[in-house]
Every structure is written in structure tokens, then in C-alpha cells.
Structure 1
């Protein structure tokens, strides 16, 4: 019996050995780094999974350049690496040779599903911002970053998932879901981001509760909590729940065979907000996550719905 990865590539009609290896690289990145996304992707029909792995794999590959502090490279060096990646991506998307397996897979996916190259341009713009910008004054300022880092991911996914309405109608909720996932990450990872010198939570929202970088750093360093921080985070969790509500109608706009996948990711990622709340908003000292039993409780019914949807096609 072929491995799940091989079976997915067979179903997708990917026969070239080099491309199969490239997609396998992306699948491994998704499995290792994106537990929630990988679990949700398993609910898609096999022929659609490699494209999702490619899109996730590329995003992760670029993000690693930004966040890799182990080699001590300064921001200008990381920016230069991003510039090189951008040039290599453009070359691959234009049909030229790919400098890395991840680029080969994502370029093949972009061609197969006619994904707008502008989405990749916007993504790379936000990745460059991470080498220059360390905080954001308002949600409007942050919106520039999350458009490229998150909203366009939802837009890239739409051609892969398929829609039952004109694609343009599904774009706003798809983009909102990408943003909701991203802000959820910001809330979950606020301590780790602070260690990297970044704060993705808008300064104006924090200041309304008497919170600033100095207080967050003190809480992180001393492993102590502060009621002002808890109130600010509670406010931002409520804001993020509202973004999920804007995104929710988009699930029903997808092709039936794709709905279980997105509904699973939606439920599990929104569940991170519940875990943050249950932890008393103590995210500066530990990384909260949705328990495995909860992931299983969401994924198993999702699999049943996914199989039923495939049987009807």
C-alpha cells in the first residue's frame, strides 16, 4: 500500500519524480510545524492536499528566514536572503528553474490552480516588514502587515478549495479567516515574539489598558502577571472572536468536499482563544495549545462529513 503522501500525489496527477520530491518536502514542513493545519488538510480529498502542503510549505520556508536567530544574522542579512528568495520565487512562477524544492512545488501549484501572483508579492512584502518593523501603532497599521502575511493565504487557498459562489464573493471571508488565524497566533505567541524584539499587538489597544513594551518585557522576564496585561489580552481576544464571526459565512461558500477541512481549522484555531482565556491570559510565560483530545473530537466528525461529501460527488 502506498504511503499517504504518495497516494496524495498519485491522486493529484503529480508524476514527475522531482516534483513529487518537492511536494514531499512541503508535506513534511506542514506535518512538522503546522499540527492544526496538517490535521485539517487530512479532511480534504487526497488530490487537493499537495497544493495546500505547497502553499503552507512556502509560507513556512519564508518565515524561517525571518525568524531564524540561531545563526545570529542581523536584520539586513535576513532582508538580503528574502530579496534572493523573492527573485527565485518570481523566476519559478514565470516557469523558470526553481532554486529550492519548496519553490518548485509552490510554482507548480500556482500554475495548476491559476493563483494570482500578486498574492505572493504581497506575502513577500510582509515578510520584508518583519526585518524592519518591530511594533505597530494601531490596527490600521497592523492591517498592512496581516494583509500580506495572512489575508492573501486565504485568497491563495480559494482556488484549491473551490467555491459554490463566484470566487469574488468568497474572498472577503477567506481573507478574514486568514487574519483571524494570524491574530490568534500573535496572542498565543506574544512572549516568543517579544523575545525576538517584536510586538504584533497594536500599541494603541495595549495603551488603553496601561500596557506598553516595558511592562510586557517585565512580565516576561520576571514570570509574573499583571492585571493590566490580562485586561488588554481579554480585549484583544474579544476583537479576534469578532474577526472569526466575519469569516464564518465563508465556510458555506466552499465546495462541499472542502468545508470539513476549513471548518476543522476554524474550530481548532478559534479554540486557541478559549485556551488563552482558560489560562487566565498567561501567554507571556507559556505557549497554550488545544489539547489532543479536543483536536480528535473535532477531526473525527469532520472526517465523517468529509467522506459523506465525497460520496455525493
Structure 2
């Protein structure tokens, strides 16, 4: 492994630790190479997402894309850089070098990344979705379900039947993010709650008010979210022990965000709801002891 790749793997781990703490804690339960490969997939997705949502914080040395230009131009440049590097199998820039080395070694289908970048581009032109089906199939297919597909080669499942549970877990993770991050997404001009559901309950998230109607709508979304986690659960038994502990830990921690949303009375407007670090550490230790409650 080249010095550039080693540096890139370290930076991918840092990006995951800084911005994806649940993924980071879960990946700590994997052997080193699998852990590193989780970090590279996360880093690729994080950088693309930040180019769209928070372009000012994306460092040029991470994404190998110039700082000038619109978000659409930078995202397209990042997409081109990634696919070009993947085709060549090598690149000098450390983070991209680590990303394509891991993805190439795992044999991940490049089509997954086409769907992913298409979804990221959609964020620049679409700010709301009419129905749950529109949101799930029109956006989350490329921004969530496909992440589960990207992770499968890293997790080394026993059977190809693990694909659908992995996709369901991708949907579940992202829907949890949507429910937790309503306020932040409004600040970006986006609503990831189905307009049909909002209208049926007579609520407007732009008002940022927690009313009985808002609570009823959110309770409905949480129930949908929990059903997705239930759909994903059978996939755990299709994974080898280390991968099962990793994914199980992430599942438990993400699902606890839903508990905290409920405990807050579905108020997602006044402070970001989090699972404390000590709780994440405790869940990880339980996973190591083989007693993770899923």
C-alpha cells in the first residue's frame, strides 16, 4: 500500500469519526481492513453530501476538486474525478486513492455510485417530495438503499439474500436522519417529509411548531421508520460475527434516536437530538460481549 493510500485511509477514518459517529463506533467492531473500507465508503458519501449541503467546509485536498464554482459544478467534478480514478485504479490524491483502492479491491458494482451521485444532484434541484413512494423511490433509492449495497462487499455476507435487508437498513438510517434533522433541512430550503402526509395532518414544518397534529404526523413517520428497521433485522443473521456486531450496533444506536425523538415530544426544532457518547460506548461494549439487544 502506498504512502498516499495510508494517509488517505487515516483521513477517511477522521472524517467518519468527526461526522458519522454512529458509523465510527460500529466500525470499531470490525477487523482493521474491513473497518478501513467502511470509512472509505462513508468518506466518499460524506464529501459528496457536503459539496451539496455545506460546500464551505469541504477541503480541496479531501475531494480533489477546486473550491471555486457552483455546488453543481463541484459535484460533477467530484463525480468525474471519482469515476476516472476508479477506472485507472490509482490516483495521487490521498483520500481518493484510499477510496478507489478499497472499492476496487472489494469489487463493488460501479453502478451503485451512479445512482448515488444522481441522488446527490437531485438535492440541488428538488426541495420536497409529494408522497412517501416518491421520496423512497425517487430519492432514497440513490441516497440510502444504495449505501446498504455499497457496504455489503465490505461486510462479507454469507448469502446474496442479505441485499434486501441491507437496502431496508439504508432506508431506515436515512429516514431517522430526516426525522431528526427537520430543522437543519428547513434551513437548507428542503423538506424530506412527504407532502401528502403533512397535508393529511394539516401541518406546515416551516412554522416550526410542535402541535398535536405535528406530533401525530411524526408518530406516523416513526412507526414507518421502525417497520424499516424490522425489515432489516433478518439481515443480521446473514453476516459473519464481526459484521453482525458492527451493523447491530449501528442499528441499535440509530433506533435509539427514534426513542429520543419520542421522549422530546417530537420537538425536532429546538436543538439536535443525539445519543450521548457514553451510551454509544456502552452499546459497543455490549456488542463485544455478545449481548446486544436488537
TM (normalized to structure 1)? Answer: 0.86
CA distance in structure 1 between the partners assigned to 2:242 and 2:283 by the alignment = 17
Match of 1:217 in 2: 206
1:89 aligns with 2:82: yes
Matched residue, 2:47:
61
Partner of 1:25: 11
Q: Does 1:151 align with 2:151?
A: no
Alpha-carbon distance in structure 1 between the residues aligned to 2:55 and 2:79: 20
Query: Is residue 136 from structure 1 mapped to residue 129 from structure 2 by the alignment?
Result: yes
Shift of 1:47: 2.2
Structure 2 Cα separation of the partners of residues 81 and 301 of structure 1: 42
C-alpha separation in 2, matches of 1:285 and 1:263: 29
Task: Supply the RMSD in Å over aligned alpha carbons.
Answer: 1.6
SS in 2 for 1:199: coil
Separation in structure 2 between the aligned mates of residue 238 and residue 64 of structure 1, nearest angstrom: 29
What is aligned with 2:196? 204
Q: Which residue of 2 aligns with 1:101?
A: 94
Assess, with a 3 A threshold, how the Cα gap between structure 1 residues 17 and 69 changes in structure 2: closer, same or farther. Answer: closer
Unaligned runs of 5+ in 1: 1-14, 307-313
Question: Which residue, 219, 224, 243 being the options, matches 1:234?
Answer: 219
1:64, distance to aligned residue in structure 2 (A): 0.7
Partner of 2:70: 77
CA distance in 2, matches of 1:69, 1:159: 30
Deviation readout 1:111-159 (Å, 9 max, x if unpaired): 1100000011110000000100000001111122111111111111111
Shift of 1:282: 0.3
Q: Following TM superposition, by how much is the alpha carbon of 1:102 offset from its aligned partner in structure 2, in angstroms?
A: 2.7
Aligned residue for 1:122, secondary structure, equals helix
Determine if contact 2:210/2:266 at 8 Å carries over to the other structure: no
Match of 1:121 in 2: 114
- Shift of the 140–100 alpha-carbon distance from structure 1 to 2, 3 Å rule, reads farther
Which residue matches 2:172? 180
- How many corresponding residue pairs? 279
Is the Cα–Cα contact under 8 Å of residues 31 and 38 in structure 1 kept in the other structure?
Answer: yes
**SS of residue paired to 2:201:** coil
Given the superposition, is the C-alpha separation of residues 149 and 162 from structure 1 closer, same or farther in structure 2, using an over 3 Å criterion? Answer: same
Cα drift, residue 225 of structure 1: 2.2
What is the CA-CA distance between 1:266 and the residue it aligns to?
0.4
